[in-house]
Structure 1
Amino acid sequence: MATSAAFLKGDFKRTGKMELSDEQKSQMWINSVNSENKEALLAWVKETGIELVQINGQRKYGGPPPGWIGNAPVSGSEVFIGKIPQDIYEDKLIPLFQSVGKLYEFRLMMTFSGLNRGFAYARYISRRQAISAIMSLNGFEITKGCCIVVCRSTEKSELALDGLPGNFDENMLKNVLDEVTSGVSSISLHPSPTKESQVLAVVKYDSHRAAAMAKKTLCEGSPILPGLPLTVNWLKTDMRQKLRSTDKLQQTKDLSPLPLLYTDRPDLPKETLLSAVGCLNMLCQEMKLGRPVFLIKLFSVTSFGWIRFWYQVVIPTYPTPFCGYAWMIGENLELNEKYEHARQVVAMKILSALGYIPDFSLGDVTARNAL
């Protein structure tokens, strides 16, 4: 041991005590915490040959276990174990949970000191065995006066990505996510409840593991849109309910009568009717607001072909200018086409802010400008 070697070499301070680094002192303190049960765990691991792996604050057995052939068990085969005494380890827990079924994986959440955090997850090879574990072990007295809780694990697999540009659609987002994550099974977009004019995406993955890996990747620095303050969290129940309420309110608004935006004007060229800038110009002309003046500043293209830009639009007799940042796809466009595309994106934002719904989608504008 390093400590013994230092002692034999006479590595002392003048007080006669051996000099220890902060790291050595920290390790000695960790080793001293619950040392008796830690030694029992080591003896059990050596005796059984079982392999435990420490990964990001949890100690794991299996996933898959030795000799496993085939796919991972289906959703619903994992149980949550709570109210575990913090000084108990796998040498007591794994045999207990193996007594009611075959374990595919066992994960014990750990603290820095080596104590457990009071909860764990056990995944069985089938849902039936998971149900059996709940029925048999929920309320089991694992030590005198300490009864554990065993219930179905929620196996979270949905992420909430808040702060996406308002012109994102499901296909755009899926193409980007497929570049950096795997296992996306569905995407739904909602108006952000916290960020005006932006979008919150609910992304469902085909497993908890795939969702957890995606969350880790996205949180390490959003590779979706560099520079965008994207928030990535597990989708919580209260957020799900809030999004449902917002969607219902939006559906009600969509059924309300809205001003007709020049869709029945045979005297105007079709190209003008399909142009957001053209529609905005006509609106301002008929409302006697003056012709809008656009100021656009383009930034660099991201690795996914997105361009971030700043805009300011002044309408002469409108009280305040419209300004902010937006995104667009434009990697393969010429410079003048990029500016025109940005103008269309901004005009559509302004029309929406003024309460008018243009008779085209951003996809139409994108497709036409990409030709």
Structure 2
Amino acid sequence: MEAEMWTNSINQANKMALLTWTKETGIDLVQVNGQRRYGAPPPGWVGDPPPAGTEVFIGKLPQDMYENVLIPLFQSVGKLYEFRLMMTFSGLNRGFAYAKYSNRRGAKEAIAAFNNYEVQQGCTIVVCKSTEKCELSMDGLAASVSRRELEAALRQVTEGFLSITLYASPCQKRAQLAVLRYSSHQAAAMAKKTLMEGSTRLSGLEVRVDWLNPSLKQKLQSGKEKPPSSRVQGGKRLGVPKPAPLPPMLRNALDRLNALCQRRYLGAPLFLTKCIQANPNGWLRFWCRVVIPGCPVPFGGFTWVRPAGPGRSGHEEAKVAVALQVLRLLGCPLT
């Protein structure tokens, strides 16, 4: 309740002006996953979405400025198909937005009119052509993770997924890098947020999700990076080093879930975990998601765990906690 009162108190006058404007104009703004969107399509739109090259990037915005000022401004040079304002938890904007026009001419007019435009005294904005990136890189995947498993997981936790290509990681030995392709820049941006860039663990291994760098793309496509080997040598499988083994009692939950999936002819469960809070007493709060190929929806939620020993990150313990919940939901509790 205190957090809610705090966020409502920030920039209250401009928030009220925005609310009044939406009521007067009947404009519908939808907020989801850290952004607020108008249109896509706007009222009265007929036909397909606009082609590539119709979107502009708007940067250096004052954080207390909202759509009641920005949409009329950018509509003055052309018909808007979509406007997306990136938002913070407190209700301020994050300083940038995207405007998509009905045609390329509208985008060119916006750049000509508003690049270096003074929206407030002493505050000029940047407006340029949006790169409309649609590809992400996911680095640090275990050599044992298959394309089929990843594809099934991504289709369940992100929208607009089109394809995946696996390469050897240029940064980590015996690891994989996946190039993920999405149907639009917006879909890719939402997938990047969902996959929690920079600090995600997939099946217990740390991976990094970011926009695909053009130079990296060129290097990968030149054939210099090939998928890592998963040959067996001396009875041991080559792959990314694993964390220290869990105690048998904890390991049992993961083994039971894997066995249950095999019995029901489902794919191997994939875990995504992120530590979002650490308490001084040693307890860690994790966001977790489990994707099981063959199950129609992923399992997800939050859990508190305490690492089983010194030097442990807690990710393995979080996997165990969520595995127990999944077993219960699937009608097979651990006894």
Report the TM range for the smaller structure's normalisation: 0.5 to 0.7
Q: Cα distance 1:160–1:143, how it changes in 2: closer, same or farther (>3 A)?
A: same
* Amino acid in the other structure paired with 1:233: V
Q: Distance in 2 between matches of 1:218 and 1:143?
A: 36
Q: Distance in 1 between matches of 2:157 and 2:34?
A: 24
Residue in structure 2 matched with residue 76 of structure 1 by the alignment: 53
Which of 202, 207, 222 aligns to 1:231? It is 207
Number of corresponding residues: 245
The secondary structure found in structure 1 opposite 2:224 is helix
Q: Distance in 1 between matches of 2:235 and 2:16?
A: 75
Q: Distance in 2 between matches of 1:294 and 1:82?
A: 52
Q: CA deviation at 1:97?
A: 0.4
> Is 2:56–2:98's contact at 8 Å kept on the other side of the alignment?
yes
Residue in structure 2 matched with residue 350 of structure 1 by the alignment: none
Which structure is richer in relative contact order (CA contacts within 8 A, separation 6 or more)?
A: 2
Residue in structure 1 matched with residue 124 of structure 2 by the alignment: 147
* Amino acid in the other structure paired with 2:81: Y
The secondary structure found in structure 2 opposite 1:53 is strand
Give the number of the structure whose residues are more often helix, by fraction.
1
Percent identity at matched positions? 51
The secondary structure found in structure 2 opposite 1:36 is helix
Q: Distance in 2 between matches of 1:117 and 1:199?
A: 33
Note the alpha carbon deviations across 1:315-366, whole angstroms, 9 max, x for none.
xxxxxxxxxxxxxxxxxxxxxxxxxxxxxxxxxxxxxxxxxxxxxxxxxxxx
> How does the TM-score come out when normalised to structure 2?
0.60
Q: Distance in 1 between matches of 2:64 and 2:46?
A: 34
Q: Distance in 2 between matches of 1:39 and 1:251?
A: 54
Note the alpha carbon deviations across 1:22-64, whole angstroms, 9 max, x for none.
357525xx33x43333333233222212122222332222222
Q: CA deviation at 1:95?
A: 0.7
Q: CA deviation at 1:197?
A: 1.1
Residue in structure 1 matched with residue 301 of structure 2 by the alignment: none
Residue in structure 2 matched with residue 41 of structure 1 by the alignment: 18
Q: Cα distance 1:73–1:228, how it changes in 2: closer, same or farther (>3 A)?
A: farther
* Amino acid in the other structure paired with 2:164: I
Residue in structure 2 matched with residue 305 of structure 1 by the alignment: 267
Residue in structure 2 matched with residue 138 of structure 1 by the alignment: 115
> Is 1:34–1:87's contact at 8 Å kept on the other side of the alignment?
yes
Matches within 5 A, 1:1-371: 22-23=2-3, 25-26=5-6, 30-31=8-9, 33-166=10-143, 173-174=150-151, 177-178=154-155, 181=158, 183-219=160-196, 227-229=203-205, 231-237=207-213, 240-242=214-216, 244-245=218-219, 250=224, 292=234, 300=258, 305-306=267-268
Q: CA deviation at 1:202?
A: 0.7
Q: CA deviation at 1:217?
A: 5.0
> Is 1:79–1:123's contact at 8 Å kept on the other side of the alignment?
yes
> Is 1:159–1:232's contact at 8 Å kept on the other side of the alignment?
no
Q: Distance in 1 between matches of 2:220 and 2:36?
A: 41
Q: Cα distance 1:163–1:44, how it changes in 2: closer, same or farther (>3 A)?
A: same
Instruction: Give unmatched runs, 5+ long, in structure 1.
Output: 1-20, 253-275, 281-291, 309-371
Q: Distance in 1 between matches of 2:70 and 2:134?
A: 26
> Is 1:166–1:199's contact at 8 Å kept on the other side of the alignment?
yes
Q: Distance in 2 between matches of 1:212 and 1:100?
A: 26
Q: Cα distance 1:141–1:241, how it changes in 2: closer, same or farther (>3 A)?
A: same
* Amino acid in the other structure paired with 2:83: F
> Is 2:149–2:268's contact at 8 Å kept on the other side of the alignment?
no
* Amino acid in the other structure paired with 1:250: K
Q: Distance in 2 between matches of 1:147 and 1:47?
A: 28
The secondary structure found in structure 2 opposite 1:231 is strand
Q: Distance in 2 between matches of 1:206 and 1:24?
A: 35
Q: Distance in 2 between matches of 1:307 and 1:48?
A: 48
Instruction: Give unmatched runs, 5+ long, in structure 2.
Output: 238-253, 271-335
Q: Cα distance 1:43–1:135, how it changes in 2: closer, same or farther (>3 A)?
A: same
Is the radius of gyration larger for structure 1 or structure 2? 1
Note the alpha carbon deviations across 1:110-142, whole angstroms, 9 max, x for none.
333333222211111222211221112212222
